[in-house]
Structure 1
Amino acid sequence: MTNAYVVRFVGGPLDGRVDTVGKPPETPKPTVTHVHLHSGPKIVHHYDLQYAVEYGCEYRLRVEEPS
């Protein structure tokens, strides 16, 4: 029996999202970009990869420094 590889999202609009895949990707994306489109302005969030030994990896919301 193979254990599923779990990818979690922490923070922002994807907080709490869990994706399960059969095996880990050979080269996981270092950053995932989430674009929220609605009737107002486009909102972009960046999630950076961090490994979590317990279950696979997680993407944590990048804290953007104010310009």
Structure 2
Amino acid sequence: MDADSDEQQDAVLLFVGGPLDGRVEVRAARHGAPLPTVTHVHLHGGPKVVSRYDLQPLPGAAGVYHLRPRSGGPSATTPADGDPAD
């Protein structure tokens, strides 16, 4: 996605894992290159749940955001108060 020709195209982005699993978004070229990390905050009746996705660029104007794996501490998808998500 770093090539000049790719920056002129809209980017097709797929989300894998977590609450956004299966979502496909098209990022308009006028917004620039896709961000390397996306943070999704889910607000509902319970605690706030935060999920982080890391971009894996693909050839052309495409990429896949993968749910960030657990790193021994709180999971990639955790309530903001630090308690593990159900």
Relative to the length of structure 2, the TM-score reads 0.62
CA contact (8 A) 1:5 1:24 kept: no
1:17 pairs, out of 19, 23, 33, with: 23
Q: Report which structure shows greater RCO (CA 8 Å, sep ≥6).
A: 1
The 3 A distance-change label for structure 1 pair 48 and 24 is: farther
Aligned-partner Cα distance in 1 for 2:53–2:69: 9
Aligned length: 65
Aligned-partner Cα distance in 2 for 1:24–1:57: 17
Q: Unpaired runs of 5+ in structure 1?
A: none
In percent, how many aligned pairs have the same letter?
Answer: 49
Q: Unpaired runs of 5+ in structure 2?
A: 1-8, 74-86
Aligned-partner Cα distance in 2 for 1:41–1:51: 32
Further displaced range: 43-52 or 21-30: 21-30
SS of 1:39's equivalent?
coil
Higher strand proportion:
1
Cα RMSD (Å) of the superposition?
Answer: 2.2
Residues 14-53 of structure 1 aligned to structure 2 (within 5 Å): 14-23=20-29, 26-53=32-59
Deviation at 1:28, TM superposition (A): 2.4
SS of 2:70's equivalent?
coil
Relative to the length of structure 1, the TM-score reads 0.77
